Chains A and B, each alone.
Chain A
């Protein structure tokens, strides 16, 4: 299907998941991601083997995901911020069992019940593992409805490839906005899953999926092995988009909808003679450290533009080893920064000179 259709971001996630071979969706409604579930409810019953199930709670939904993931089938759930907190116990179990699954977070303002307007304040939660224990999720941050589709498709491939949960970290704006999308997603990658619980037919040794280790030495070994895998992912899977960075002196770091606002500000700053540029992380974990490390040797300063009280800014500082100043330009609680606000931050940073 190369022709374009007009879709909501949430719908694009659902359709791309189906195209990626996901036939199991478990969820619980919450604004602003409910269209993912609504779309699945309409589509899944019409597809062979398709299961849509509205669980009695987020906790039930994530444990259904856990169960299907153990059988090696492609499976997903979606929610918004408070719902992801509820799911995080289950996400930790899925990570502890090394199971592939997709978790979608269409973020809203917090903490607590917060509000229903868009936010990016679950960055820490997403990139630091969300639940208890040492683990990571591969976290992808779409900045268009097209990417809501393409990164969802990619997230299923990555989950299978590395045998681990992946996350789409979107926000309410990305979920609700409508844009044209090409649903030309490419190949579904297939992976052997000898670990999957598919029934032995009395022909093989039974598989065990479990996150409990009775022997501490063994649990330590599993953790070290898992982090060897994470190292390879950090080496191979980090993704970002660089915009006008060739000669940039002020570098903005922004993802998702904040990156689109920032792009506008960069263009405006250039018109005013200020050499601004943008690095947009597409993977939040692994964080695109190399791009920032490279920029740190060239630019005067960094501005982290975020819809939170400043979370990604810590990764920018780490990746640049604090070689250059990093300032924060932010809105919170469901508010979106304006291009004017970002432009002002650029002008301010440009006054700073070479520190």
Chain B
């Protein structure tokens, strides 16, 4: 896989951006490249990239995250270190953008530099099983809102249609046409389909460019 210097994951709230961003960074690292993950989520109080920090550091991937992430301080803050993403062009960067247009607002201040460097990919993460984006029209509407708020345009689509732990291969297969319809409407290619690791074998060969999500950052209670 060819990686751009900066990879951005954005999309609808709860579409699975954080999980994919973390796994994608591991992929870049495994290709022998120096990479860091940037948590730009200013929306979520919990379930953030911070949950995967130990797993990332173990693999030599640095996480740039607000010191307030996962703490009791309810501040939509972004650390100054975040500027290294655009200034330090020797290191690959994966950016996890908060959900919807509200989340994408935080991207605005970095967008001009990213566009100027022009070595980026911005993925629109989609999940047809989210109730407010069940069809192509509503999903594309969210996409335009995110682009307007973030000041930068998407370059490809990542189909992450899933029902959490209960996801079956059939659920993923039946989302392919949804992803293709969005692709057709927007002219953007479907870069990959992401699936939980246990579905990977069953689905490989049936869908192009499948990426298993080996790292699960979700906290487990049962």
Residues of A that sit less than 8 Å from B by CB: 4-8, 11, 15, 31-32, 35, 38-39, 42-43, 109, 114-117, 172-173, 176-180, 183, 257, 260-261, 263-264, 334, 336
Q: Is B44 an interface residue (CB 8 A)?
A: yes
Please, which residues of chain A bring their CB within 8 A of the CB of B72? 109, 114-117, 334
Task: Report which residue of B72, B130, B221, B222 has the largest number of chain A beta carbons within 10 angstroms of its beta carbon.
Answer: B221
Q: Is B162 a contact partner of A116 (Cβ separation < 8 A)?
A: no
Q: Is A6 a contact partner of B163 (Cβ separation < 8 A)?
A: yes
Task: Report which residue of B14, B46, B131 has the largest number of chain A beta carbons within 10 angstroms of its beta carbon.
Answer: B131
Q: Is A4 a contact partner of B46 (Cβ separation < 8 A)?
A: no
How far, in whole Å, are A109 and B14 apart by their CA atoms in the complex? 24
Query: B interface, by DSSP: helix, strand, loop or mixed?
Result: loop
Please, which residues of chain B bring their CB within 8 A of the CB of A5? 129-131, 134, 163
Q: Is A178 a contact partner of B129 (Cβ separation < 8 A)?
A: no
With both chains docked as a complex, state the minimum distance between the C-beta of A218 and any C-beta of chain B, in angstroms. 46
Give me 8 other A-B pairs in contact (C-beta within 8 A), A4-B129, A39-B132, A117-B46 excluded. Answer: A7-B131, A8-B14, A31-B45, A32-B46, A116-B45, A176-B45, A176-B46, A183-B131
Please, which residues of chain B bring their CB within 8 A of the CB of A183? 131
**Would you mind naming 18 contact pairs between A and B with Cβ atoms under 8 Å apart?**
A4-B163, A5-B129, A6-B130, A6-B163, A15-B131, A32-B46, A42-B132, A114-B72, A116-B72, A116-B74, A172-B45, A173-B46, A176-B45, A178-B164, A180-B129, A261-B222, A334-B72, A336-B221
How far, in whole Å, are A35 and B74 apart by their CA atoms in the complex? 15
How far, in whole Å, are A61 and B49 apart by their CA atoms in the complex? 34
**Looking at chain B, what size class is its interface with the partner chain?**
20 to 34
Task: Report which residue of B129, B134, B166 has the largest number of chain A beta carbons within 10 angstroms of its beta carbon.
Answer: B129
- A5 nearest in chain B by CB position: B131
Q: Is A180 a contact partner of B164 (Cβ separation < 8 A)?
A: yes
How far, in whole Å, are A98 and B14 apart by their CA atoms in the complex? 39
Please, which residues of chain B bring their CB within 8 A of the CB of A334? 72
Q: Is B47 an interface residue (CB 8 A)?
A: yes
Please, which residues of chain B bring their CB within 8 A of the CB of A35? 13
Task: Given the known inter-chain contacts A42-B132, A176-B47, please indicate yes or no for A4 contacting B221, CB distance below 8 A.
Answer: no
For B84-128 the 0/1 string (1 means CB < 8 A from A) is 000000000000000000000000000000000000000000010
Considering only residues 26-56 of chain B, those with a C-beta below 8 Å from chain A are 44-47
How far, in whole Å, are A117 and B74 apart by their CA atoms in the complex? 10
How far, in whole Å, are A116 and B14 apart by their CA atoms in the complex? 19
With both chains docked as a complex, state the minimum distance between the C-beta of A277 and any C-beta of chain B, in angstroms. 16
Please, which residues of chain B bring their CB within 8 A of the CB of A31? 45, 74
How far, in whole Å, are A263 and B221 apart by their CA atoms in the complex? 10
Q: Is B222 a contact partner of A260 (Cβ separation < 8 A)?
A: yes
